[in-house]
Amino acid sequence: MTTTATTSDAVTSAPTSTGSTATRVLGAASLVGIALLVVFGVFVSPPDKELGETIRILYMHVPTVSVAYLAFVVTAVGSAMYLWKRTEFWDLLAASSAEIGVVFFGLTILNGMLWGKITWGVFWRWEPRLTTTAVLFLTYIGYLAVRAVPASPRTRGTRSAVVGLLAVVNIPIVHKAVDWWRGLHQERTIFGTLKPEIQGTQAFAAYLGLMVFLLLFAWLLIHRFRVAFLAERAAESGLEGAIAERRQEAGQ
């Protein structure tokens, strides 16, 4: 832990939160984007010819699942980099990204179920993409469980980096397996009915949704990383404090 001259800036304006100019800009842009998305996704854009009103759920469903996959790729990159460089940054980045991915995966499943209730009349069918999402959701719950087990930073980092890499490799395999598995049972799927050329305000809402959730992901990732970094420092100073107390007790 070296305290260099550059830290004097940080000390004079010591941050009391995980916010910064960058996060405030990202946060404001996200809020504006969400407001616009609600306007266009819920009110302005017309219902789809085939999907009807249910397309309004897809304006969130598609971005959440895309961003979740992006988050897991970030986790995998962070995991690989941690095993190579062994620096705290990559470990905390991987962990922060995984948690956000799990949240977005949970939302994807909930949105998919609500979409299914309208389209199929039931909350759950073994639709390939929804099934894949459920399996991978549980896979990454396992990643978070490994991180929650108390251990030294290096041990915890190594364990979770291996899980992060084993899990990301499973994504295409699960996709393929589930696709073949459901191959004989063609039914109305979430993405199968989405035509590639949705137009006008529909296309605008779709792209806007993706942008909004990408901004949200960036905003959340910065905050979550800073929280993880603070948690490490707090654990260290807690440990140092405890050691100092013991020393005093021992009369040293």
Partner 1 sequence: MSSTGYIVAAWLVTFGVTAGYSLWVVLRGRRLSQEVPPEQRRWMTAGSRGRE
Partner 2 sequence: MAERTRAAAGAPTGTVRAVLADARLVAGKDLRLELRSRVGLSQVLPFALLVVLLFAFALDPDRRVLGAATPGLYWMVVLFSSVLAVGRTFAVEAEDGVLDGLRLSGLSPAGIYLGKVGALLVELLVLDLVLALAVVVFYGTEISGPVLLAAVVATATVGIAGAGGAYGGLTARMRGRDTLLPLLLLPLLAPVLIGGTRGVEVALGRDAGPGWPWVGLLGIFALVYLTLGTLMFRPLLEDA
| Interface residue list for partner 1 (CB under 8 A) | 1-4, 6-7, 9-11, 14-19, 34, 38, 41-42, 52-54, 56-57, 60-61, 64, 86-89, 92, 103, 106-107, 110-111, 114-115, 117-118, 153-154, 157, 216, 219-220, 223-227, 229-231, 233-234, 237-238
Query: Which residues lie across from 52 on neighbouring strands?
Result: 48
Pick one of partner 1, partner 2, none as the site partner of residue 69 (Cβ within 5 to 8 A by kind). none
| Exposure on the CB side of residue 172, measured as CA atoms within 13 A | 3
What length does the chain have? 252
Q: Which of the ranges 59-67, 164-172, 229-237, 240-248 carries the binding residues for partner 2, by CB under 8 A?
A: 164-172
- Whose Cβ is closer to partner 1: residue 134's or residue 174's? 134
The owner of tokens 């980092």 is: 157
Largest CA distance in the chain: 80
Per DSSP, the three-state class of 139 is helix
Binding test (CB under 8 A) with partner 2, winner from 11, 14, 122, 169: 169
Q: Give phi and psi for 52, each to the nearest 5.
A: 65, -145
**Binding partner of residue 111 among partner 2, partner 1, none, CB under 5 to 8 Å per kind?**
partner 1
Decide: is 161 part of the binding site for partner 2 (CB under 8 A).
yes
Contact 153, 209 (CB under 8 A): no
Window 51-90: residues binding partner 2 (CB under 8 A): 83
Q: Tokens 């084993």, residue?
A: 166
CB of 89 to partner 1, least distance (A): 7
* Segment lying near partner 2 (by CB under 8 A), choices 4-12, 162-170, 209-217, 231-239: 162-170
Rounded to 5°, angle at Cα 237 from 161 and 12: 105
Task: Give the residue with the Cβ less far from partner 1, 1 or 169.
Answer: 1
Decide: is 95 part of the binding site for partner 2 (CB under 8 A).
no
- Asked whether 161 and 79 are in contact (CB, 8 A), the reply is yes
CB 156 within 8 A of CB 235: no
Give the DSSP letter string of 178-200: HHHHTTTS----TTTTS-S---H
Binding site for partner 2 (CB under 8 A): 83, 135-136, 138-139, 141-142, 145-146, 149-151, 154-155, 157-159, 161-163, 165-167, 169-170, 173-174, 176-178, 180-181, 184
